[in-house]
Structure 1
Amino acid sequence: MGRSDACLMVAAVQMVSTPRVADNLAAAERLLELAADSGARLVVLPEYFALISADAREKVRLRERFGAGPLQEWLARQAARLGIWLVGGTVPLEADVPDKVRNACLVHAPDGRCVARYDKIHLFGLRHGEEVYDEGETIEPGEAVVTVDIEGWTVGLSICYDLRFPELYRAMGLVDLIVLPAAFTWTTGRAHWEVLLRARAIENQCYVLAAAQGGRHEAGRRTWGDSLLVDPWGEVRVRLAEGEGVVRGTLQRARIDEIRARLPAWRHRREKEFIRSVCA
């Protein structure tokens, strides 16, 4: 690789989104400015950055046609205004099923163009005492694995619950960075968030940048937070426990090359040679 892509400064925005879209966009704009002013070239917003409501169907009423709509226009405008690569957390887009949405992660280039779209494949469901979630009631799952080139860095797109499915990340191939906009619950985040993020970084020998919702929401939900950057050896480089803010770090090409040379796990893979043995 050339010197131009030897390093890339990245940032994750952490929010505590409300049921009011205008308030959330104002907060996100302020945090994006902080990230851009710090020198970040790539900035990731959390899942549901524009809305977290007690009414799960509110996001269906907010849905947009891909390529047009207030939220997409806002993302394009922020990317162009700040001159950054902007990973737009998630935006509710029209689905094939009329009363559902696609929970879509959109990537906008520094000129405002949308250059990639990933629709969340794995839909969260949880029954834990009085905590009950079922994203399948309002969300239609995506089907395609998506990577995008950002200034010479191969970036894999994923969203929140996807983190629990390592086969998704293997299907991306060899990537330099995995981004994960998320809204992990406090219950699941406390138990599994960090260990899963570090595992994805270790097994794929790449950086992982997670932008989370983090705090007590007006809608009554509590999200875990802990937005962070993990390096290819599984070390947490920077984090923010809870509340609004920005975490920033630098990707180093030499670090990826060092880890992959030291422990060439990708070359050691033999998954196509597995033989399944079934015992009675």
Structure 2
Amino acid sequence: MRIALLQMNGGIEPAANAATLTQAIADAKAGSAAMLFTPEVSGLVDRDRGRAAANIQAERDDPVLAAVRGAAAAHRLWVHLGSLLVRRDDGKLANRGFVIDDTGAIRVRYDKLHLFDVDLPSGESWRESATYTAGEGAVVVDTPAGPLGVSICYDLRFPDLYRALSDASATILSVPAAFTRPTGVAHWHVLLRARAIEAACFVVAAAQTGVHEDGRATYGHSLVVDPWGEVLLDMGEAPGVGFADLNVALQNDVRARIPALRHRRPIPRVERL
């Protein structure tokens, strides 16, 4: 099964980002992919809250979502739109991912569970919870590439989420991201490989890359990792579309050799002595 990943340097103009996404859908289809995966915040990368607010829409009004749905239908391609910043029905904001089928229908929505509230040694400070509301559930959806468990960026640091997704029969885990450079250099590869090994799943992580219009810098290195922990694709730092072939037979072999999923047990009560 061939999949495609978009690595992008998203900016502050949704229309420009939409053009990048729709071109990537065409390129993925031309490359014989069954599904395209895009990064976190594919529609808008903007740390200026005041400026960004004017470009954050309700789902029904979001021009980037409409463009991607239209292109998915036109090219008959499934798309995991890693995430968009959207205004919820209650007026609050969410960082929301979408799985869109080859008719342009939305099969699944997922609001980011874990919000990035950190102070980094580099001096960067992030408070996603000051702007966005966390989601309340996880989801697995059937796709042409297999049962897909969805997550977003900082979720990567919480292995219980991926245990729950693989317990729910996910064979692929998607981790769209806009990882900072300091945390990317230190942890990106090792965390993605660990999640793949623990769950005996393919891990697909489409990422933002480079220095963005709003001044932030992201790590890039969109990855595909197989269930044995081998990196099948590392896109480095350049924007573009990459491809990887997922071997389901390999996954079955890994799960047979090390049947860790079958050996999982409820965690007993821990005594603090």
Q: TM-score, normalised by structure 1?
A: 0.92
Deviates more, 1:257-266 or 1:84-93: 84-93
* Aligned 1:152-171 pairs, distance under 5 A: 153-171=146-164
Contact 1:59 1:92 in 2 (8 A): no
**Structure 2 counterpart of 1:278, one-letter code:** R
From 130, 148, 161, the equivalent of 2:141 is 148
**Structure 2 counterpart of 1:199, one-letter code:** A
Partner SS for 1:212: coil
From 25, 34, 42, the equivalent of 1:41 is 34
Partner SS for 1:161: helix
From 80, 83, 92, the equivalent of 1:90 is 83
Contact 1:212 1:225 in 2 (8 A): yes
Q: Give the distance between the partners of 1:142 and 1:184, measured in 2 at CA.
A: 19
**Structure 2 counterpart of 1:124, one-letter code:** F
- Quote how far apart the aligned CAs of 1:247 are: 1.8
Q: Deviations over 1:55-109 (max 9, x none)?
A: 03444433333344322211210111111111112112223663x4111001110
Contact 1:60 1:138 in 2 (8 A): no
Does 2:132 align with 1:139? Answer: yes
Does 2:268 align with 1:277? Answer: no
Deviates more, 1:190-199 or 1:168-177: 168-177
From 221, 225, 229, the equivalent of 1:230 is 225
Contact 1:57 1:138 in 2 (8 A): no
Does 2:168 align with 1:176? Answer: no
Q: Deviations over 1:15-34 (max 9, x none)?
A: 00111122222222222222
The alignment yields a C-alpha RMSD, in angstroms, of: 1.6
From 121, 144, 153, the equivalent of 2:113 is 121
**Structure 2 counterpart of 1:63, one-letter code:** I
- Quote how far apart the aligned CAs of 1:119 are: 0.5
From 234, 239, 242, the equivalent of 1:239 is 234
- Aligned CA distance change for structure 1 residues 234 and 226 (closer, same or farther; 3 Å): same
- Aligned CA distance change for structure 1 residues 58 and 256 (closer, same or farther; 3 Å): farther
Partner SS for 1:130: coil
- Aligned CA distance change for structure 1 residues 191 and 57 (closer, same or farther; 3 Å): farther
Instruction: Name the counterpart of 2:104.
Output: 112
Deviates more, 1:143-152 or 1:154-163: 143-152
**Structure 1 counterpart of 2:101, one-letter code:** A
Q: Deviations over 1:104-146 (max 9, x none)?
A: 0011100111110000010012212431111111110000101
Contact 1:210 1:228 in 2 (8 A): yes
Q: Give the distance between the partners of 2:141 and 2:132, measured in 1 at CA.
A: 24
From 248, 252, 268, the equivalent of 2:247 is 252
Does 2:191 align with 1:196? Answer: yes
**Structure 2 counterpart of 1:52, one-letter code:** V
Unaligned runs of 5+ residues in structure 2 are none
> Percent identical across equivalent pairs?
39
Partner SS for 2:175: strand
Q: Give the distance between the partners of 1:74 and 1:120, measured in 2 at CA.
A: 22
From 171, 189, 202, the equivalent of 1:207 is 202
- Aligned CA distance change for structure 1 residues 171 and 64 (closer, same or farther; 3 Å): same
- Aligned CA distance change for structure 1 residues 250 and 53 (closer, same or farther; 3 Å): same
Q: Give the distance between the partners of 1:34 and 1:14, measured in 2 at CA.
A: 13
- Aligned CA distance change for structure 1 residues 235 and 34 (closer, same or farther; 3 Å): same
Q: Deviations over 1:29-60 (max 9, x none)?
A: 22222222111111011111121123034444
